[in-house]
């Protein structure tokens, strides 16, 4: 019998992956907390628009409250929520995760241990995601990376290569290039290097990637942020892992060279969509909703301080984003000067 799959969190990432899985014959149910999106999918289907494709699939979608009436369990749960929603959504789905099932976090940040603490390490797999997409209209996804430029990395938390990992690798090839990692925590921290530089920094500046990387002052800030994030990971015992389809030899060289490769990889993956794609933090600011910055840059700052690793650039980016969230300032390119002043003040005080 084909495994039953639940995609929990049907935003841009979850909807993109679910649509491709349905297209290739998998049994998928969406579960989400945005009522209008769920209703639109049930009424008219889920449409995904890409630079090289435009299609609509029909699949069942449930409001989160509808789970109370569900009788079936799911063999696979793909959690595609914001990092700050990880714990409550994992608790929500736990009764409907099959005893021998698996839960995979298709998320930014370091959420695997939160998932494992609720459903058990034996039912948790890790994932690193490079997929750019946006949802502003219920039932409609703008996917910015094509299948050939989307990348997913999966791994068991203990590094072993299992049968379920091989099944996941094969199943997910319908939506992305797929790699298997024996160092999934290191791979996720490497993605956090990328996220802390791009999502948190570009979001606070109100800039798209192609705009931001053309500004020398932004590029310098990103490199500082990335260098600190690498240092914190190393102090925590995490080893950087080639991601985004990079070969191991491409990660040889200085730390700054590796950081720059990660920074520029996103533009290469976006291709012709680079000028219309927006990072998820910027999307959240446009929508007027809470961002994931605390689950990204906040993790670097907290862990850095706990380990005694200086993180003035990350702390400055976190503070600027906090002020935006509080309504004190707006996302704007001038915020790079504010971040630089906070960094200088921190270094003088050290």
pLDDT tens digit string along 308-322?
A: 999 999 999 999 999
Whether 99 has a pLDDT exceeding 90, the answer reads: yes
Task: Give the burial string for 77-93 (b: 16+ CB within 10 Å, else e).
Answer: bbbbbbbbbbeebbebb
**Does domain 4-182 match CATH 3.40.50.720?**
yes
Residue 236 pLDDT > 90, yes or no? yes
* DSSP symbols for 62-106: EEGGGGGG----EEEEEE-S-GGGHHHHHHHHGGGEEEEEEEEE-
Tell me the CA end-to-end span of the chain in Å, nearest whole number: 61
User: Where along the chain do the CATH 1.10.1040.10 domains lie?
Assistant: 186-349
pLDDT of residue 78: 98
pLDDT tens for each residue of 184-198: 999 999 999 999 999
* pLDDT at 82 (0 to 100): 95
d(CA 342, CA 319): 9
Residue 274 reports pLDDT greater than 70? no
Report the interhelical angle of 293-307 vs 312-325 (nearest 10°).
140
| Statement: the pTM of the whole predicted model exceeds 0.85 | yes
- All CATH 3.40.50.720 domain ranges of the chain, comma separated, are 4-182
Percent of the chain at pLDDT > 90 equals 84
pLDDT value for 209? 82
Model confidence at 57: pLDDT above 90: yes
Which CATH number does 186-349 carry? 1.10.1040.10
Mean pLDDT (whole number) for 178-183: 96
């Amino acid at each position: 019998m084909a495994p039953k799959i639940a995609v929990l969190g049907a935003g841009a990432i979850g909807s993109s992956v679910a649509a491709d899985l349905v297209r290739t014959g998998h049994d998928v149910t969406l579960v989400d907390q945005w009522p209008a999106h769920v209703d639109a999918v049930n009424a008219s289907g889920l449409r995904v628009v890409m630079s090289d494709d435009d299609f609509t699939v029909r699949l069942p979608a449930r409001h989160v409250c509808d789970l109370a009436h569900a009788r079936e369990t799911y063999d696979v749960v793909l959690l595609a929520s914001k990092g700050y929603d990880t714990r409550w959504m994992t608790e929500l789905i736990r009764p409907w995760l099959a005893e021998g099932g698996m839960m995979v976090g298709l998320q930014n940040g370091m959420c695997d241990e939160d998932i494992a603490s609720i459903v058990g390490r034996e039912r948790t797999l890790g994932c690193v995601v490079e997929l750019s997409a946006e949802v502003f209209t219920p039932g409609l996804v703008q996917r910015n990376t094509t299948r050939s430029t989307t990348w997913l990395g999966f791994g068991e938390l203990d590094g072993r290569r299992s049968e379920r990992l091989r099944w996941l690798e094969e199943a997910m090839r319908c939506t992305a290039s797929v790699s298997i990692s024996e160092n999934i925590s290191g791979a996720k921290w490497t993605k956090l290097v990328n996220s802390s530089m791009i999502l948190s920094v570009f979001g606070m500046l109100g800039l798209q990637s192609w705009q931001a990387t053309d500004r020398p002052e932004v590029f310098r800030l990103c490199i500082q942020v990335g260098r600190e994030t690498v240092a914190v990971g190393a102090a925590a015992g995490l080893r950087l892992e080639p991601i985004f389809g990079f070969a191991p030899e491409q990660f040889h060289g200085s730390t700054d060279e590796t950081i720059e490769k990660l920074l520029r990889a996103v533009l290469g993956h976006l291709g012709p969509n680079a000028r219309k794609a927006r990072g998820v933090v910027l999307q959240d600011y446009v929508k007027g909703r809470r961002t994931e910055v605390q689950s990204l840059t906040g993790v670097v700052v907290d862990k850095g301080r706990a380990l005694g690793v200086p993180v003035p650039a990350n702390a400055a980016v976190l503070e600027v984003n906090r002020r935006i969230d509080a309504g004190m300032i707006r996302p704007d390119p001038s915020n790079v000067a504010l971040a630089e002043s906070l960094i200088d003040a921190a270094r003088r005080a050290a």
